[in-house]
Structure 1
Amino acid sequence: MKENIIDSILLDLDGTLVDTASEMHLALNVLLNEEEMELQPYEAVRPHVSNGVMGIFNTIFEDSPEVNGRRFNRYLDIYEEHLGINAQVFPGMNEV
């Protein structure tokens, strides 16, 4: 009989295990640059990361849902391109 070498599989769906705030910030600034808008400092974006992309968008953009829908889709493309560049496992998660 084969021995299982995998003890567990952990999925991080909401940023509990891996801190992706810096990548969310990067993706936002790439989008803002494309839109020729003022870039945002990390400190202004970080408090809204736990509310997801729309939480960030609601603090930055005041446009119509249609415009924000287009932005949202573009943001997701940018985020996917940059995923894993700056992500850091939260302290203690390696031991888990």
Structure 2
Amino acid sequence: MFKDTDAVLFDLDGTLIDSAPDLGAAADKMRTDRGLESLPLALYRPMAGAGARGMLAVAFGLTPEDVGFGDLREEFFSNYESRMTESTSVFEGVADLIARIDQMGLKWGVVTNKSARFTLPLTRAMPLFSTAKTIISGDTTPHAKPHPAPLLEAARQLDLVPGRCIYVGDDERDIVAGRAAGMPTVAAAYGYLGKTADTVAWKADATIAAPGALLNLLRMA
């Protein structure tokens, strides 16, 4: 399906790794530290892709516009930083997918909105990322997704024209960013999809229900 592909770029949280347990625990600690009851992970998981904004919305019903949000966000960041690899794991099928991409001679990398403060130590701590050719964080460029700048920077670092890179992500902004960068896009329907998510409406070039399904698209090229 994807002809003339030289690289596969992935979103991080909800696409390659399941970081919801650590993100949720970081927010939930803020509740229990204040004497509030703990909330189940199932409430946090759908919002994990939204980072601090999503976690604080679940934990306290707050939005970035609320007074004190900035201080609580930094507390959340501190909690998360102290435990971000405790319960985070690679999604089933991802390790095999990356191994096959390597075997096919394709380059691969990560483009995430997670700041380098977390992205770099997290990816260095997980063996999966040892063969990644580029890691682009949310603050690598002046703009984060859905702006195409991070994806264009990834293509630049790989020394490839954007159209020869595929972008895979579990959020609509991933598809918007990929399209704006001129890359074929794949929606990861197994990721952190919110209650109102409609992957069909995202108009990605393809949708996969599991990581390994991407291999079928690559083999068809």
**Into which bin does the TM-score normalised by the smaller protein fall?**
0.7 to 0.9
Does 62-71 or 16-25 show the bigger shift? 62-71
Q: How far 1:38 sits from its partner (Å)?
A: 2.2
Conserved? CA contact 2:23–2:51, under 8 Å = no
Which amino acid in 1 is paired with 2:95? N
Alignment gaps of 5+ in structure 2: 1-6, 99-221
| Matched residue SS, 1:73 | helix
Does 55-64 or 35-44 show the bigger shift? 55-64
Report how many residues are paired. 88
Normalising by structure 1, we get a TM-score of: 0.75
Correspondence for 1:68 = 69
Q: How far 1:21 sits from its partner (Å)?
A: 0.3
Correspondence for 2:56 = 57
Distance in 2 separating the partners of 1:60 and 1:54: 10
Correspondence for 1:43 = 42
Correspondence for 1:81 = 82
Q: How far 1:24 sits from its partner (Å)?
A: 0.8
Normalising by structure 2, we get a TM-score of: 0.36
Does 57-66 or 67-76 show the bigger shift? 57-66
Change (3 A) 1:35 1:67: farther
Q: How far 1:80 sits from its partner (Å)?
A: 0.5
Distance in 1 separating the partners of 2:61 and 2:40: 18
Superposed CA deviations along residues 17-68 of structure 1, whole A, max 9, x for unmatched, are 1110000111111111122222111111112112222023223324573322
Correspondence for 1:4 = none
Which amino acid in 1 is paired with 2:15? T
Change (3 A) 1:79 1:58: same
Which amino acid in 2 is paired with 1:89? V
Change (3 A) 1:88 1:62: closer
Conserved? CA contact 1:32–1:38, under 8 Å = yes
Correspondence for 2:101 = none
Conserved? CA contact 1:17–1:89, under 8 Å = yes
| Matched residue SS, 2:67 | helix
Q: How far 1:13 sits from its partner (Å)?
A: 4.1
Structure 1 or 2: more strand by fraction: 2
Conserved? CA contact 1:61–1:68, under 8 Å = no
Q: How far 1:85 sits from its partner (Å)?
A: 0.5
| Matched residue SS, 1:82 | coil
Conserved? CA contact 2:31–2:59, under 8 Å = no
